[in-house]
Structure 1
Amino acid sequence: MKCPACAAELPAEAAFCHKCGVAISSSVDQPAAAGGPAAAKRPRAAVPPTAGEDQEEVLWQGQFSKLAMLGAWIAGGAFTLVIIVIGFFASFTGGAWAIAAGAIVLVWIALVLRLLYLQLSLHYYLTNQRFIHERGLLWREVDRIETIDIDDVGVVQGPVERMLKIGSIRLRSSDASTPEFMIQGIENVRQVASLIDDARRKERRRRGMYIESV
């Protein structure tokens, strides 16, 4: 089936043209001019959205979860234990113990600072129309992906992350500047991924587009 307005190829059951947006409905015969042929059939104009239909609504917002660093915490604990065990077996002197303690403290300070940085610098927002990603502390960078441009939503989890219901979400989109994007360290990751997938499908249906046609 072709669009009567722009001649684009459409699925047989399409309600709207995915290129020009015109409604695909039964045509209406116009009265014939006196003594002339019947007037050409014209498609009905698309019905404009009702008031409030285009209003942007926040569906979810989140940030990097401290649970997402569980592997780093475990590694830090293992490092601390190994240093202590080595100290006892090697009979560290006072100076050696001071160096070992300093190394342990530095490791834990680095882990805490990394967590604070990720939690303060990464912010995610999902609306019914866009996915917004903010990053940075002093210099803030904001990226936006239209939900209608999101082509695929995937979830990435390790064994421990599945137990804690955390993980990363991979977005693939037709956005030229962000063809692939990872949302890292998200709690209830499968639920959030479903929200994103539902938002993109609803926005495409609202604009009369099929998932396969974009």
Structure 2
Amino acid sequence: MRATSSLSQPEGLELRPHRMQFVIDNLPSLVVCCAGGIYGGMEGVPYPVVGVAVFLCLMLVLLYRFIYLCRIRFRIGTEQLVCERGVLVRKVDYMELYRVVDFQEHQSLMQQLCGLKTVRIFSTDRNTPRLDLTGMRGKNDIVPLIRGRVEYNKRKKGIYEITNH
């Protein structure tokens, strides 16, 4: 996580998923790809071309997924959370911070072993009611930072939450 400013400055914070998240998300495909490459390179086995074809097809898919993961950017500004993603077609989602209502952190077993986590942000935004920041380092406290900016924006815009318990 690279901080470019604090809460009081107009710039924000830019986050990117850790590259180990690619291995976590694609472990079965990586195993099959390697097995196909090994099988296709062996002599005396039936249909080695099938192994090479599996290897090449999966390698292309995995390469695209890796590039996609590397191109994801999360920018936490003073008023918006911006998510950019895509390889051939870029999609940019904007979430107003004053609309954020809740947070959740999740770690799968593989993420725990790799020291990563997924931060889920819930909002009242129509286009993006849920935004997952996948592959964040486990030691980074992202939720308190976003929560502080959310509270600041709610006070700034005069938005108060009324609850019935």
**How far 1:159 moved relative to its partner?**
0.9
* One-letter amino acid matched to 1:110: V
The correspondence of residues 58-137 of structure 1 with structure 2, limited to 5 A, is 58=12, 60-79=13-32, 80-81=34-35, 84=38, 92-93=45-46, 96-120=47-71, 122-137=72-87
Q: 1:102 to 1:189 in 2, by over 3 A?
A: farther
Under a length normalisation based on structure 1, what TM-score does the superposition of the two structures give?
A: 0.58
**How far 1:154 moved relative to its partner?**
0.9
Preserved CA contact (<8 Å) 1:131 1:145: yes
Q: 1:174 to 1:168 in 2, by over 3 A?
A: same
Structure-2 separation of matches of 1:185 and 1:106: 25
Partner of 1:199: 149
Query: Structure 1 residue runs of 4+, over 4 Å off?
Result: 82-88, 205-210
* One-letter amino acid matched to 1:69: F
Structure-1 separation of matches of 2:157 and 2:63: 45
**How far 1:132 moved relative to its partner?**
1.0
**How far 1:56 moved relative to its partner?**
2.5
* One-letter amino acid matched to 2:15: G
**How far 1:167 moved relative to its partner?**
2.8
Preserved CA contact (<8 Å) 1:155 1:190: no
Preserved CA contact (<8 Å) 1:129 1:148: yes
Preserved CA contact (<8 Å) 2:39 2:48: no
User: Helix, strand or coil for the counterpart of 1:154?
Assistant: strand
Q: Give identity over the alignment, percent.
A: 19
Preserved CA contact (<8 Å) 1:169 1:189: no
Partner of 1:9: none
Structure-1 separation of matches of 2:85 and 2:115: 23
Partner of 1:156: 106
**How far 1:83 moved relative to its partner?**
7.4
Under a length normalisation based on structure 2, what TM-score does the superposition of the two structures give?
A: 0.72
Q: 1:77 to 1:132 in 2, by over 3 A?
A: closer
Preserved CA contact (<8 Å) 1:135 1:141: yes
Which has a greater percent of strand?
2
Structure-2 separation of matches of 1:86 and 1:98: 6
Q: 1:136 to 1:105 in 2, by over 3 A?
A: closer
**How far 1:61 moved relative to its partner?**
0.8
Q: 1:119 to 1:77 in 2, by over 3 A?
A: closer
Structure-1 separation of matches of 2:28 and 2:132: 24
* One-letter amino acid matched to 2:135: G
Instruction: Give the paired residue count.
Output: 155
Larger radius of gyration: 1
* One-letter amino acid matched to 2:20: L
Preserved CA contact (<8 Å) 2:39 2:51: no
User: Helix, strand or coil for the counterpart of 2:117?
Assistant: strand
User: Structure 1 stretches of 5 or more lacking a match?
Assistant: 1-52
